[in-house]
Amino acid sequence: MEVRRQIDVSGIVQGVGFRPYVYRLATGRRLRGTIRNTPAGVTIEIQGPEETVQDFVDRLPAEAPPLARITSLAVHDLPCDDVPCNDDRHFLIVHSHEDEEVRTLISPDVAICPDCLGELFDPNDRRYRYPFINCTNCGPRFTIIRDIPYDRPSTSMAMFRMCPACLAEYENPLDRRFHAQPNACWECGPRVELWDKSGGKIECRDPIAEAVSGLHAGLVVAVKGLGGFHLAVDATKAAAVARLRERKRRVEKPFAVMVPDLRAAAGICELDGEAPTVLQSIQRPIVLLPKKSSGVIPDDVAPFNRYLGIFLPYTPLHYLLLAEGGFKALVMTSGNLSEEPIAIDNREAVDRLHGLADYFLVHNRDILLRCDDSVVRVAGGVTRQLRRSRGFVPVPVFLKDDQASVLAVGGELKNTICLTKGKHAFLSQHVGDLENVESYSFFHEAIEHLERILEIRPEIIAYDLHPDYFSTKWALQQSGVKLAGVQHHHAHIASCMAENHLEGRVIGFALDGTGYGADGNIWGGEALIAGYEDFERAAHFEYVPLPGGAAAIREPWRMAVSYLAHHFGREFLKLDIPFVRQLNRPKVDLLLRMMEQGVNSPLTSSCGRLFDAVAALVGIRQKVNYEAQAAVELEMAMASSDEDTAYPMKLAPEPVAENNHWVISTRPLFEALLDDLGRNVSVAAISRRFHNGLVAGFVELATLLRKTTALNRVCLSGGTFHNVYLSERLEARLSEAGFEVFTQKEVPSGDGGLSLGQAVVAAAKMRGVGVN
């Protein structure tokens, strides 16, 4: 029987080869019909024998091109007795006037596809060794878009006029390069050049071969990638790695390493479970994996760390560099100085990376928007985002319900922004630490660019309550829009709720380093009873002073002194443990006086600072060189045993508050820990007992809160959950105790995911007061 059906597909289905794919699927089955772009995606009309049409509908999502992301697919019958959807046996791609009006989802930048890779290394292909080979299934998108709609004139490819051969591919619906906007070749496309350290062009026949010899000689080469410059050195050469560290002024913070293929990856890291799939995924994130003691990679690449961040090449240029140099691994770190944003423009790179790079491998396809590499970890079969950026942005996080358009401006560190429209929450790429001027201007750029290409005019701006955050100050200067302040840890929990599509109220554990509290103190070890609209603080770590404010974050020994003085008074100075013996007494006296008089010693319930105190006490680290270093190294020091001993914590009712408000006392924990230190228990065992103690304490707390609230769902969020052992064990123990546990996967649990939570909270608050 002949049938006719209409199929409405929404999601990322434009600019990703979807229409030619449908064309091939239909003509291959001799079905008649049309496909056209619509504002939401595409609409297909299809006619033919019922069985064949059904087969077409079934296969449609299953075999879609790699970049397509179908979010909904609605099929309904059309009367067959109408004029056939097309004049005869053909299937047509309809180019309507509406095409120019079309507003739809934009694809992220993705890695070179297997077809293009085959051509790249095929001496008979016309694009043999062409560093910008791409097709509709791969290549740059987000970082080359100036404006919408996404077609060539609104990208940085506008200046390159396609040669006849490229144009023929571009116009042929059956070609893999049909409407591939960055399509190019040796004849007509961008070119690579090698520049010296001052930006002078080096005349040579083969810039890539020259760059390779530089790397072999141990030099630092700045390489222009998809979302910015990398600084590259041969990762197997300790002296080159040391030179890069020194020039980049990056002390001890791990470098990521690019390896040529999966086999090379398996030589230096443990590739269990999902790891190979994630490494080879089109997003090509940096994946944190357990290091092997291979002897290939010097320790200095990731000192004091059991993990190494590795990734596979994702541009044709990367593949050419690695293949032609025969490198086992290249350090590929963001082209910037310490925490500044990554450099993208050729001249900007020469200026900003002056003195860092010996060579610049540049090209003339402009990067319009910087976008750092994404970082994920794979544990327990789950991939979690640590930094969600290239390859993922601007794919939205899909929300459960439509909501008002909100611009959420994120926090201060690891900043991202978030724009919502309907059911879509678009998080920006990693913007970075707003404390420095360059990041702050990138913050403006990211807002402006995202609003333009997504065509979102927010009704509400959501911001953190911290009065000193640059993002907060910026938000408060905006006019003609509603403003909503959102408490930091409420935003963390709401972020977790939103990506898990939760409604109602949950028990939320928000553990991190720093967040401005509703009482003006610095929170960070919080149990909330939260919904989107509001929250109640159910419990928190007992307050201790943060002596010296920001200095206490850089110098964990101050936190150890703070905790010891808080629990034991000046008596702690008599303790016969290495930590106390090595203290600088005049400095400690000053610190104690500061705390006693309440000078520059704000109160904090931060979980991150508790980790710092313990790390300093056991002698792991007195000063840090990068954020969370002490906590990371305390986790790394843990013994891999199955010891279950846990330091005790005590839950006490909050003295002044009404019911249901608890303070988590850390005194028993420190007593037990000092006991162990006195008995020379190993640091590895102490670290494990400390982690176990936190887990046991929070399971006990959850059980208590379940009794009083009848809530059984627990959300875990905050930067502390980047700690693998803590998050896996807490999730497991809560599940064993019958809780439904929700964690973050799509966006980071750290401050990189904060903007999502701010957006959904602000929208809910506005609904609550009837604004929306």
Q: Are 313 and 260 in contact (CB under 8 A)?
A: yes
Stretch that binds Zn ion, among 179-187, 545-553, 607-615, 723-731 (CB under 5 A): 179-187
Which of the residues 41 through 80 are near Zn ion (CB under 5 A)?
Answer: none
CB of 365 to Zn ion, least distance (A): 13
> Binder to Zn ion among 57, 78, 148, 188 (CB under 5 A)?
188
State the DSSP string of 204-227: -S-HHHHHHHHHHTT--EEEE-SS
Our CB check for Zn ion shows the closer of 522 and 649 to be: 522
Binding of Zn ion by 731 (CB under 5 A): no
Task: Determine the Cα–Cα distance for residues 182 and 179; give it in Å rounded to an integer.
Answer: 9
Binding of Zn ion by 166 (CB under 5 A): yes
Residues shown for the chain: 772
Stretch that binds Zn ion, among 100-108, 306-314, 505-513, 680-688 (CB under 5 A): 505-513
> Binder to Zn ion among 26, 185, 268, 353 (CB under 5 A)?
185
CB of 720 to Zn ion, least distance (A): 9
Binding of Zn ion by 542 (CB under 5 A): no
CB of 413 to Zn ion, least distance (A): 8
CB of 492 to Zn ion, least distance (A): 6
β-sheet bridge partners, residue 479: none
Our CB check for Zn ion shows the closer of 157 and 397 to be: 157
Closest CA relative to residue 223, chosen from 389, 390, 353: 353
Write the Ramachandran bin of 660: left for phi over 0, alpha for psi from -120 to 50, otherwise beta: left
CB of 658 to Zn ion, least distance (A): 27
Q: Which residues contact 62 (CB under 8 A, 6 or more apart)?
A: none
What stretches of 162-269 show up as alpha helix (H) in DSSP?
164-171, 207-216, 238-248, 262-268
CB of 122 to Zn ion, least distance (A): 13
State the DSSP string of 589-603: HHHHHHHHHTSS--E
| Residue 317 vs residues 132, 135, 286, 364: alpha-carbon distances, Å | 7, 15, 18, 13
Distance of CA 57 to the CA centre of its chain: 35
619-625: list long-range contacts, CB under 8 Å, 24+ apart: 619/578, 619/579, 619/683, 620/683, 621/556, 622/555, 622/556, 622/557, 623/554, 623/555, 623/556, 623/557, 624/553, 624/554, 624/555, 624/556, 625/251, 625/252, 625/253
Q: Which residues contact 529 (CB under 8 A, 6 or more apart)?
A: 505, 506, 507, 508, 535, 536, 538, 660, 705, 709, 711
Stretch that binds Zn ion, among 144-152, 393-401, 514-522, 720-728 (CB under 5 A): 514-522
CB of 719 to Zn ion, least distance (A): 5
Our CB check for Zn ion shows the closer of 357 and 413 to be: 413
Site of tokens 């062009």:
201
Our CB check for Zn ion shows the closer of 119 and 676 to be: 119
Q: Are 49 and 89 in contact (CB under 8 A)?
A: no
Our CB check for Zn ion shows the closer of 234 and 751 to be: 751
Return the structure tokens found at 419: 């724009």
CB of 419 to Zn ion, least distance (A): 20
Binding of Zn ion by 751 (CB under 5 A): yes
Which of the residues 137 through 156 are near Zn ion (CB under 5 A)?
Answer: 137-138
CB of 656 to Zn ion, least distance (A): 26
Our CB check for Zn ion shows the closer of 323 and 704 to be: 323
> Binder to Zn ion among 51, 187, 299, 401 (CB under 5 A)?
187
Our CB check for Zn ion shows the closer of 628 and 686 to be: 628
Binding of Zn ion by 135 (CB under 5 A): yes
CB of 131 to Zn ion, least distance (A): 14
CB of 536 to Zn ion, least distance (A): 19
Stretch that binds Zn ion, among 16-24, 163-171, 376-384, 698-706 (CB under 5 A): 163-171
Our CB check for Zn ion shows the closer of 15 and 325 to be: 15
Closest CA relative to residue 32, chosen from 19, 43, 46, 18: 46
Task: Determine the Cα–Cα distance for residues 541 and 543; give it in Å rounded to an integer.
Answer: 6
Stretch that binds Zn ion, among 166-174, 326-334, 350-358, 413-421 (CB under 5 A): 166-174
Query: Which backbone phi and psi does 660 adopt, to 5 degrees?
Result: 65, 25
Query: Which backbone phi and psi does 655 adopt, to 5 degrees?
Result: -55, -45
Our CB check for Zn ion shows the closer of 107 and 692 to be: 107
Q: Are 461 and 409 in contact (CB under 8 A)?
A: yes
Stretch that binds Zn ion, among 63-71, 515-523, 573-581, 595-603 (CB under 5 A): 515-523
Q: Which residues contact 76 (CB under 8 A, 6 or more apart)?
A: 5, 6
> Binder to Zn ion among 113, 219, 607, 664 (CB under 5 A)?
113
First-residue to last-residue Cα distance in the chain:
49
Binding of Zn ion by 163 (CB under 5 A): yes
Query: Which backbone phi and psi does 560 adopt, to 5 degrees?
Result: -60, -45
Our CB check for Zn ion shows the closer of 112 and 580 to be: 112
Our CB check for Zn ion shows the closer of 163 and 575 to be: 163
Task: Determine the Cα–Cα distance for residues 453 and 424; give it in Å rounded to an integer.
Answer: 14
CB of 177 to Zn ion, least distance (A): 8
Which of the residues 261 through 320 are near Zn ion (CB under 5 A)?
Answer: none
Which of the residues 603 through 632 are near Zn ion (CB under 5 A)?
Answer: none
C-alpha angle with apex 524: 523 to 528, nearest 5 degrees? Answer: 85
β-sheet bridge partners, residue 234: 330
The type of residue at 755 is S
> Binder to Zn ion among 119, 169, 234, 512 (CB under 5 A)?
512
Our CB check for Zn ion shows the closer of 84 and 602 to be: 602
CB of 344 to Zn ion, least distance (A): 23
Binding of Zn ion by 339 (CB under 5 A): no
Return the structure tokens found at 68: 């397509």
Our CB check for Zn ion shows the closer of 110 and 353 to be: 110
Stretch that binds Zn ion, among 8-16, 158-166, 359-367, 499-507 (CB under 5 A): 158-166
Stretch that binds Zn ion, among 193-201, 216-224, 347-355, 510-518 (CB under 5 A): 510-518
CB of 189 to Zn ion, least distance (A): 6
Our CB check for Zn ion shows the closer of 163 and 681 to be: 163
Closest CA relative to residue 748, chosen from 381, 411, 279: 411
Stretch that binds Zn ion, among 160-168, 228-236, 268-276, 539-547 (CB under 5 A): 160-168
Our CB check for Zn ion shows the closer of 165 and 251 to be: 165
Stretch that binds Zn ion, among 12-20, 108-116, 471-479, 567-575 (CB under 5 A): 108-116
Stretch that binds Zn ion, among 136-144, 149-157, 367-375, 576-584 (CB under 5 A): 136-144
Binding of Zn ion by 446 (CB under 5 A): no
Q: Say whether 382 sits in a helix, a strand or coil.
A: strand
Stretch that binds Zn ion, among 276-284, 360-368, 396-404, 512-520 (CB under 5 A): 512-520
Output Rg (C-alpha) for the chain, integer angstroms.
28
CB of 388 to Zn ion, least distance (A): 15
Binding of Zn ion by 496 (CB under 5 A): no
Bond before 61 cis per omega within 30 degrees: no
Site of tokens 């299809």:
46
Q: Are 223 and 278 in contact (CB under 8 A)?
A: no
- Contacts with Zn ion, 115-134, as mask; x by CB under 5 A: -x------------------
Task: Determine the Cα–Cα distance for residues 134 and 278; give it in Å rounded to an integer.
Answer: 21
Size, binding site for Zn ion by CB under 5 A: 13
- Footprint on this chain of Zn ion (rule: CB under 5 A): 113, 116, 135, 137-138, 163, 166, 185, 187-188, 512, 515, 751
